[in-house]
Amino acid sequence: MQTLHRTDPELAGLLDAEVRHQDTTLAMIASASVADPSVLAAGGAALSNVTAEGYPAARYHPGAARFDAVERLAIARAKDLFAAQYANVQPHSCSSANLAVLSALLPPGGTLLGLDLDAGGHLTHGSPASVTGRHFTAVHYGLDRTGRIDYAQVADLARRHRPGVLIAGASAYPRTVDFERFRAIADSVGAYLLADISHIAGLVATGKHPSPIDAAHITTTSTYKQLGGPRGGLILSGADHRTPGPDGRTPLSRLMQRAVFPQSQGTPSPATIAAKARAFSLAASPQFKDAAQLIVDNAAALAAELSALGYRVLTGGTDNHMVLLDIIDRGLTGVVAERALEQCAILANRNRIPGDTKPPLVTSGLRLGTNILAQRGMGPLQMRECAHLLHAVVTATTALSDTEYLIDPAQVLRLRAGVEDLCARYPLTLGGAAPAPAHPAPAALIGAGQ
């Protein structure tokens, strides 16, 4: 960082500004966590200069002995952390991991069954906007009247469509996923079960959510959402790692190796793999387990306080880190709420909710997560403060249309000061920390319409 400051002050200044921003902002992005400075350091190591396709001791380039040791360490730590028999640490993201897994288990045009995007699923679970929905035949299940996964519908669709792969996983689902039930359905039609635990990987690793490692044939996750790791993905397998793939012969673990390299990726990212190794070690610590408990306790407290303030919390609460709000119920679209909150230094993102009539860039919902609040050391008491700050922003905001709104600048200043005060009491441990100046004053009258 010192070299960067000396040689490229413009870029260094932008990076410093981000550090200050993160330290003074109440981030409730459900798909984010903060990486320890040691994870960032590993991710910026000179190991990044190594080009070496292939796997440890089977590279297509010389000079990779140190990288081999790092990758073996990352694999061993990933297996330990999740009690898995097989790990592939090379995927550049969980989207890449999912694409690799689906390509290995399905022929072109083969059928997958996953949670609908509007019900909280993920793009890579067969959305028409994703290559997974274009190259495969995607069928989607949804939620029941309580907002929980409709397992009877999953079983019915599986019987009717005979998918090759059943996907259990979500990006906006606040309740426990019953992986055993998914496996029973997959077995009943001879499908492979893929569990995507990107959002709940930290809870799974610490036993705060049931593990899919032995229930699913294959488990995928991103390494940054709840694991405090670098941007990247991970493929795991447990009891089924030797189960034959669709050809009836090749073990799933060997299929996965090929599916990542050479079938869907080239050179791995060595320093990112080093950062994954560091993050897996930290995620195995007692401190991480305590933080995972706090994440769950905080989400329950946040949901309860917002319910008490009159918000419609989807499913009536939460079992994990996530709280989903019907924000149109309070007269704001998701995008207006998101923008007004951001002006007041609170980050939470718009999200479509079941039966949503607004398009994806507008939405009727708001998704909150407690990963970073817990990493700051905030507990259930502080969740009351967070809920009241959010409520104050919503109350101060008047919608003019689906995307435009008014908010009194004096209120913005007051609310930002409240957020900064809370953040200052619970500072983040960030790499490259710089002193935090006050936020600049907002523009006179704020209307958003970007």
Does 124 bind ligand DSN (CB under 6 A)? Our answer is: no
Question: How many angstroms separate the CA atoms of 100 and 53, rounded?
Answer: 16
* Residue 90, SS3 per DSSP: coil
- Least spacing, CB of residue 190 vs ligand DSN, in Å: 29
The nearer residue to ligand DSN, 91 or 418, going by C-beta atoms, is 91
The nearer residue to ligand DSN, 31 or 237, going by C-beta atoms, is 31
Query: With contact defined as beta carbons under 8 Å apart, do 57 and 69 qualify?
Result: no
The nearer residue to ligand DSN, 171 or 371, going by C-beta atoms, is 171
Residues in contact with ligand DSN, shown as a per-residue x/- string from 153 to 192 under the rule CB under 6 A? ------------------x---------------------
Residues in contact with ligand DSN, shown as a per-residue x/- string from 214 to 243 under the rule CB under 6 A? ------------------------------
User: Pick from 450, 322, 330, 445: which is nearest to 399 by CA?
Assistant: 330
- Least spacing, CB of residue 386 vs ligand DSN, in Å: 19
- Least spacing, CB of residue 318 vs ligand DSN, in Å: 15
The nearer residue to ligand DSN, 127 or 253, going by C-beta atoms, is 127
Question: How many angstroms separate the CA atoms of 376 and 191, rounded?
Answer: 42
H helix or E strand, kind and range, residue 26: strand 26-27
Question: How many angstroms separate the CA atoms of 356 and 47, rounded?
Answer: 47
Give the amino acid at 363.
Answer: T
Does 264 bind ligand DSN (CB under 6 A)? Our answer is: no
- Chain residue whose CB lies nearest ligand DSN: 31
The nearer residue to ligand DSN, 59 or 367, going by C-beta atoms, is 367
State phi, psi for 123 to the nearest 5 degrees: -50, -45
What residues from 64 to 123 belong to the interface with ligand DSN (CB under 6 A)?
A: 122
- Least spacing, CB of residue 171 vs ligand DSN, in Å: 4
CB atoms within 10 A of CB 68: 18
Nearby residues of 54 by Cβ (< 8 Å), 6 or more positions away: 60, 61, 261
Q: State the number of binding residues for ligand DSN (CB under 6 A).
A: 3
Question: How many angstroms separate the CA atoms of 22 and 10, rounded?
Answer: 19
- Least spacing, CB of residue 101 vs ligand DSN, in Å: 16
Strands (E), 63-178: 86-88, 111-115, 137-141, 165-169
The dihedral over CA atoms of 370, 376, 381, 387, expressed in degrees to the nearest 10, equals -50
Strand partners of residue 220: 196, 235
- Least spacing, CB of residue 219 vs ligand DSN, in Å: 16
Question: How many angstroms separate the CA atoms of 438 and 303, rounded?
Answer: 30
Does 31 bind ligand DSN (CB under 6 A)? Our answer is: yes
Sign, CA dihedral 113-115-118-119, equals positive
The nearer residue to ligand DSN, 171 or 364, going by C-beta atoms, is 171
- Least spacing, CB of residue 78 vs ligand DSN, in Å: 19
Q: How far is CA 26 from CA 220, 267, 311, 401, in A?
A: 29, 37, 20, 26
H helix or E strand, kind and range, residue 189: helix 179-189
State the pairing for strand pair 137-141/111-115.
parallel
The nearer residue to ligand DSN, 147 or 238, going by C-beta atoms, is 147
The nearer residue to ligand DSN, 128 or 449, going by C-beta atoms, is 128
- Least spacing, CB of residue 225 vs ligand DSN, in Å: 6
- Least spacing, CB of residue 174 vs ligand DSN, in Å: 13
Question: How many angstroms separate the CA atoms of 356 and 58, rounded?
Answer: 50
The nearer residue to ligand DSN, 39 or 50, going by C-beta atoms, is 39
- Least spacing, CB of residue 407 vs ligand DSN, in Å: 25
Q: Is 438 exposed, middle or buried (0-12, 13-18, 19+ CB in 10 A)?
A: exposed
CA terminus-to-terminus distance, the chain: 33
- Least spacing, CB of residue 123 vs ligand DSN, in Å: 7
Which residues would be at the binding site for ligand DSN (CB under 6 A)? 31, 122, 171
